Amino acid sequence: MEKKNSYTVKLTPAQMDAAARILREGNYRMRKVEHTVAAAEGEDCQIALYKSGKCLAQGKGAADWITFVLEPQVLGEARLGYEDILNPEANAPHMGVDESGKGDFFGPLVIAAAYVDEAIARDLKAMNVRDSKTITTDKAAQDLARKIRARLGDRFAVVSIGPAAYNRLYVTMKSVNRILAWGHARAIENLLEKVPDCPRALSDQFGPAQQIQRALQQKGRQIKLEQRHKAESDIAVAAASILARAGFLTALAALGTKHGVKLPKGASAQVKAAAGELVKKHGGAALLETAKCHFKTTDDVLSAQGKTRQDEGLPPAPEHKPYVVRRPAK
């Protein structure tokens, strides 16, 4: 097995229990890591078992831990390090597409597409390119994005849908998935301008594949579209996820500077506090330029200040169809 410094493995619940028991009972120093079932430091490596079922091993001793602990004691098979043999398509020419900002109240929705072939895939893996969700700091994401852009040259595309445009699209499309499909289609087409012979585009599963297909123009309709769950394990999708995250972070910081309020990520109580400060400074209309106004956060922030969407010239709250219990016919 070619040794790397980082490995990500999806575990079943039973495998998670077995791996957690090994960390707790073995010669490891336990650590506290957010969103984990267990995390520990071993010999020249750190292991984190996330609640999502993902096992992340990092450090120069990670390969040995995978080979001598995880594979024989948890997986029961020698699987890692043979990706190229088990899935030859992973390094074949294709593009990966991913987005950032979908769950963040403030900031744009950014969709990126990244092209890889065998040589590029090998180099990106050596750079430890991985799903952006496993990168713990914004600085690390930005640094890795710079390296990815340098390696890809012009073989990537980034589509940033700023809050004002996003809010207009939502009024028309009334669906986040439709906006995503539109953005994915634009990123695919923009990259096809640079790599016209790319045969395949892979993205995470977020809705019917036909949504992207319908949004593609004539040139884009020639490419083979694939969607699958956990597509971030693909090196091209992982690269796209980092490029999208970096684009989101840069735009979010610029919006905060422009409006004189630090805009946090996510949709937490901290985000509500920042939105409240923004509305006090600039009025509710500022949310149209900085936030995704269909979020319920909009109503919470406005009502706390005795305002309504109508008062501030914001689009009405999305209509949610009532849940209907269908009873079997007698």
Q: Which residue would you say has higher pLDDT here, 84 or 225?
A: 225
How sure is the predictor about 83, in pLDDT bands with cuts at 50, 70 and 90? low
Q: Does residue 212 register a pLDDT over 90? A: no
Numbers of helices and strands, H then E, in the chain: 13, 10
Given its phi and psi angles, is residue 35 left (phi above 0), alpha (psi -120 to 50 degrees) or beta? Answer: left
Average pLDDT over residues 252-261: 97
Predicted local distance difference test score (pLDDT) of residue 86: 46
Predicted local distance difference test score (pLDDT) of residue 134: 81
First to last CA, the chain: 62
Residue 312 is which amino acid? E
Taking the C-alpha atoms of residue 137 and residue 267, their distance in angstroms, rounded to an integer, is 18
Q: Share the mean pLDDT of the chain.
A: 88
How deeply is 307 buried, as exposed, middle or buried, from its count of CB atoms within 10 A (0-12, 13-18, 19+)?
A: middle
Alpha-carbon torsion angle 269, 272, 278, 282, nearest 10? -160
Query: Could you give the strand order of the β-sheet that contains 6-10, starting from the edge strand earlier in sequence?
Result: 6-10, 54-58, 45-50, 36-42, 29-30
Predicted local distance difference test score (pLDDT) of residue 299: 95
Q: Please give the model's pTM, rounded to 2 decimal places.
A: 0.74
Taking the C-alpha atoms of residue 132 and residue 248, their distance in angstroms, rounded to an integer, is 12
Average pLDDT over residues 85-90: 58
Residue 202: count other Cβ atoms within 10 Å of its Cβ: 22
Element (H, E) at 237: helix 235-259
Taking the C-alpha atoms of residue 46 and residue 44, their distance in angstroms, rounded to an integer, is 7
pLDDT digits (tens, 9 = 90+) for 152-168: 999 999 999 999 999 99
Domains of the chain in start order, with CATH, are 6-81 (3.30.310.10), 88-251 (3.30.420.10), 259-312 (no CATH)
3-state secondary structure of 164: helix
Which of 127, 134, 140, 94 shows the shortest CA–CA distance to 9? Answer: 134
Residue where the block lists tokens 């993902």: 54
Taking the C-alpha atoms of residue 231 and residue 235, their distance in angstroms, rounded to an integer, is 9
CA angle 204, 205, 207 (to 5 degrees): 135
pLDDT digits (tens, 9 = 90+) for 1-60: 455 788 888 899 999 999 999 999 988 999 999 999 999 999 889 999 999 999 999 998
pLDDT digits (tens, 9 = 90+) for 165-210: 999 999 999 999 999 999 999 999 999 999 999 999 999 887 666 7
